[in-house]
Amino acid sequence: MMDNLAQILLLLSVAIAVVVTFQRFHIPTSLGYLLVGVALGPHTMGPTVMMPELAGLAEFGIVFLLFTIGLNFSLPQLHALRHQILGLGTGQVVLTTALVTLILWAAGLPGPVAFVFGAVFAQSSTTIIGSLLSEQGEDSSQHGRLGLAMSVFQDVTAVPFLVIIPVLGASVSAATLASTLGWAIAKAVLAFALVFFVGRWLLRPLFHFITRNKSAEMFTLAVLLVALLAAWTTSSLGLSLAFGAFLAGMMLGETEFHHQIESSVSPFRDVLLGLFFVGIGMRFDPIATLSIWHWAVLGALLIMVCKVLIVAALVQRIGVDKPVAWRTGLLLSVGGEFGLALVAIALDASVLSDNYGQIAISSVLLAMVSGAFLIRFNCAIVAAFTKTPVDAAVTNPELQTVPDRQVVIGGYGRVGHTIAVLLHSSGVRFIAFDSDPRRVQQGKNDGFPVFYGDITDPSLLASIRVDRAALVVITVNRSDMALRALSYLRRTSPKVPVIARAHDLEASALLLDAGAVHAYPETIESSLYLGATALQMLQVPTKDIDQVLQEVRTWGYKPIL
C-alpha cells in the first residue's frame, strides 16, 4: 500500500509540474501528459511508476470523453447532419484505410500488415481534437463541429476493425469472416436499441426525480451511474465501453439537464484522460525508436498527408468553403488513441511483429504530437496556404449548441421569466438556467431554451462558455448566490457585462462592488414605480418624472433615504 502511495505521489508531482509548464507556454496539456508517461515509463532512466490498476482506471477517461461528446451530438442533431456526417465519416475511414493499405502493400508489406496499418492510420484522436478546440474556442465553429463529428464517427466505424483484425492472424474462410462481422454489427444495433429505449423511458424521469432533492452529490452519482451502466451494457455485448457511454450521452443530450450533466462529469473526465495519456506515453520506447525513426517519420507523414487531402476533398464536395474544408482536414490529421488500441489487438493476434508494432506506435504518437500543433495553428496555416484571411472561428448557426453572443439568464423565476419574455419579444437570443426542475419544465412549456443548472456552479459556467455571452442577467433571489456567480464571472470573463437582481439597497451595493454593471433593488424600485404612477395621475409632465427618477438612481437612491 505504501509503495503504491509513493508512486501516486510521484505521478501527481511530475504531472503537475509538467502540465503547469505546458499551460504557461500554451502547449496542449495532452502532450504534457504524454511526456509524463515517457519520463515515468519503463523504457527511460529514473523512477518508474508501475501500477497496473492505473491502466484500467485510465480507460474510463475515454468513456467519459465519449459520454460528454454524446451530450453535444444528440439524435436530432445527428439526424440533421446525417447526409453530411455519415457520408463524410464513412468516406474518410474507408478511403484512408484503402489508400494507406495500397501504398504499403505496393511497398512490399504483406497484405494483412498493410491493412492493419491502414486501419490504424485512419483513426484520429477525439480526445486531442475535442480538448484543443475547447481551449481555442473553436468547438462551435463549422470546421470544429464537422471535425469532431467525423472523429466520433470514426470510433463507431472502427467496430468492424475490432472483429476483422484478430481473425487476420488465423486462416479463416471469407464466410466465417463475414459471419463474425455481421454478428458484431448486430450486437451494435442491439446495444443502440437498448440504450435508446431505456433512455427515452427512464432517463428523463430519473433525473427529474433526482433534481427534486436539489442535491448536487446525488445528481453527480446519478450521472456516473448512467454513463457507467451504458458502458457496461455495450461491453457485455462484446463492444467497447466508450460506445455505450456515447449512446447514453446522446440520449441525455436531448434533455434539459445536459449542461449540468456535462459540468458534473467534467472533473472525472479531465483527470482520467490525463491518466490515459500518461499510459500511452509509458508504451513509448525511445531506445527501440532509434533504429526505426525514419520509418516512424514516414508513417506520421503518411497519416497526416493522406487524411488532410482526403478530408479536405470530401468536405469540399458537400459545398463547404475551401478554408473550412482545409481546416477540417487539419483537425483530422492527428493520430488517434484508438489506433493504438488496434495496434495492441494486432500484436496480440500476431498479425504484426514487434518491429512493425513499434513502428505503428511511434508513427501514431508522432502524428499525435505533430497533429496537435497543426490543430493549434490551423487558422494561420490555412490563411497562409490559401493566401486569404481566415476568421479564427467561423460559426455555423445550424451546428451551434453553446451560447455565442447570447444573453445568459441565471434563474427562471418570476423575474427571469419576465426578462425572457421581453428578450424573446425583442428578437434577442438567450439561454436560461434554473436549479428547480419545475421552473425548467415551465420554461420548456413556454417554448424557451431553459435548462437545468446552477448558475453559481463554475463548472457549468465554464462548460457553456459563458465568456462568449453578450450579457449575463442574474435573477436569483439570494444575494449570496448572486455574489458567487458574479465573483466567477468577473474573474474569468471580465469583458462580459453582468446585471443582477437585488432585494434591497444593501444587496445592490454589494453586487455593484463585486462588479455588476447594474443591480436594481426591488423594494425601492417598486416604490419608485408607484411614486411615478402617482405623479402621472396628478398630471405631472412625463419629462419631469423621468428626470426625478434618473436623479434618484444616479445618486444611489440617497435622495429617498
221-69-432 Cα angle (round to 5): 75
Of 230-234, 287-291, 332-336, 447-451, which gets the smallest average pLDDT?
Answer: 287-291
Whether 547 is covered by a domain: the verdict is yes
Of 358, 386, 414, which marks where a domain is finished? 386
262 or 367: whose pLDDT is higher? 367
pTM above 0.75, yes or no: no
Listed range (124-138, 393-407, 480-494) with the worst mean pLDDT: 393-407
Does 13 map to a domain?
Answer: yes
> Is pLDDT of 83 > 70?
no
Query: 288 and 257: one domain?
Result: yes
100/214 same-domain check: yes
The strand pairing partners of 502, in sequence order, are 521
Q: Quick check: is 141 in a domain?
A: yes
Closest CA to 41 of 229, 314, 280, 306: 280
Least confident of 107-121, 200-214, 446-460: 200-214
Residue 325 has pLDDT above 80, yes or no: yes
Packing angle of the helix pair 378-386, 354-376 (nearest 10 deg): 80
Q: 293 and 419 share a domain?
A: no
- If one counts every other C-beta atom within 10 angstroms of the C-beta of residue 517, the result is 13
Quick one: 109 and 202 in the same domain? Answer: yes
Task: Pick the range with the lowest mean pLDDT from 353-357, 380-384, 556-560.
Answer: 556-560
C-alpha to C-alpha distance for 45 and 285, rounded to whole angstroms: 11
The amino acid that residue 12 corresponds to is L
Is 44 a domain residue?
yes
Higher pLDDT, 340 or 260: 260
Most confident of 243-257, 265-279, 368-382: 368-382
Cα angle vertex 371, ends 301, 156, to 5°?
A: 95
> Cβ–Cβ contacts within 10 Å for residue 233, how many?
21
Lowest mean pLDDT across 221-235, 332-346, 428-442: 332-346
The secondary structure of residue 500, as a DSSP letter, is: E
At residue 58 the predicted structure's pLDDT band, cuts being 50, 70 and 90, is confident
Asked which of 323, 351, 386 is the last residue of a domain, the reply is 386
**Residue 391 is assigned to a structural domain of this protein:** no
- 377 with 436, same domain: the answer is no
Q: What is the pLDDT of residue 388?
A: 66
Quick one: what percent of the chain has pLDDT higher than 70? 85
Q: What is the pLDDT of residue 155?
A: 64
Max Cα separation, the chain?
99
Model pLDDT, residue 402:
40
Alpha helical stretches, state H, 213-257 = 216-236, 241-253
Based on the domain organization, do 458 and 542 belong to the same domain? yes
Do 301 and 246 share a structural domain?
A: yes
What is the mean pLDDT of the segment spanning 455-472?
84
In a domain, 395, yes or no: no
User: Does residue 142 contact residue 394 with C-beta atoms inside 8 Å?
Assistant: yes
Mean pLDDT calculated for residue range 370-390: 82
CA atoms within 13 A on the CB side of 309: 10
Domain coverage including residue 539: 402-560
**Does residue 362 sit in the same domain as residue 451?**
no
For the chain, what percent of residues have pLDDT higher than 90? Answer: 16
Q: Do residues 293 and 367 share a domain?
A: yes
Please compute the mean of the pLDDT values over residues 452-465 and round it to a whole number.
84
How would residue 456 be classed by pLDDT, with cut points 50, 70 and 90?
Answer: confident
Mean pLDDT taken over the chain: 81
pLDDT digits 0-9 by tens, 394-420: 444 333 344 456 899 999 988 888 889
pLDDT per residue as tens digits for the range 241-259: 777 888 888 888 878 887 8
361 and 313 within one domain: yes
- Is the CB of residue 126 less than 8 Å from the CB of residue 152? yes
- Model confidence band, residue 78 (pLDDT cutoffs 50, 70, 90): low
435-447 in b/e form (b: 16+ CB < 10 A) is bebebbebbeeee
Question: What's the confidence (pLDDT) of residue 29?
Answer: 79
Task: Please identify which residue in the block is written with the cell numbers 452519482.
Answer: 221
Q: 160 and 79 share a domain?
A: yes
Q: Which of 219-223, 228-232, 302-306 has the highest mean pLDDT?
A: 302-306
* Averaged pLDDT, 130-152: 79
What is the per-residue pLDDT for 172?
Answer: 55
**How many domains are contained in the chain?**
2
Strands (E), 403-509: 407-410, 430-434, 450-452, 471-474, 498-502
Among the residue ranges 271-275, 398-402, 425-429, the one predicted with the least confidence is 398-402
Answer for the pair 98, 310: CB distance below 8 angstroms, yes or no.
no
CATH number for the domain harbouring residue 174: 1.20.1530.20
pLDDT of residue 255: 81
Q: Compare 551 and 340 and report the one with higher pLDDT.
A: 340
Q: Are residues 83 and 227 in the same domain?
A: yes
Which residue type does 74 have?
S
C-alpha Rg value of the chain to the nearest Å: 27
For residue 396, is it within any domain? no
Highest-pLDDT range among 376-390, 414-428, 541-555: 414-428
What average pLDDT score do residues 306-328 get? Answer: 90
Average of pLDDT values for 212-240? 84
Give the CATH number of the domain where residue 556 resides: 3.40.50.720
Helix or strand (DSSP H, E) at 520: strand 518-521
Q: What is the mean pLDDT of residues 104-117?
A: 91
Q: How confident is the model at residue 391 (pLDDT cuts 50, 70, 90)?
A: low
Q: What are the contacts of 419-426 at 24+ separation with CB within 8 A?
A: 419/473, 419/475, 420/446, 420/448, 420/450, 424/448
Kindly state whether residue 506 falls inside one of the protein's structural domains.
yes
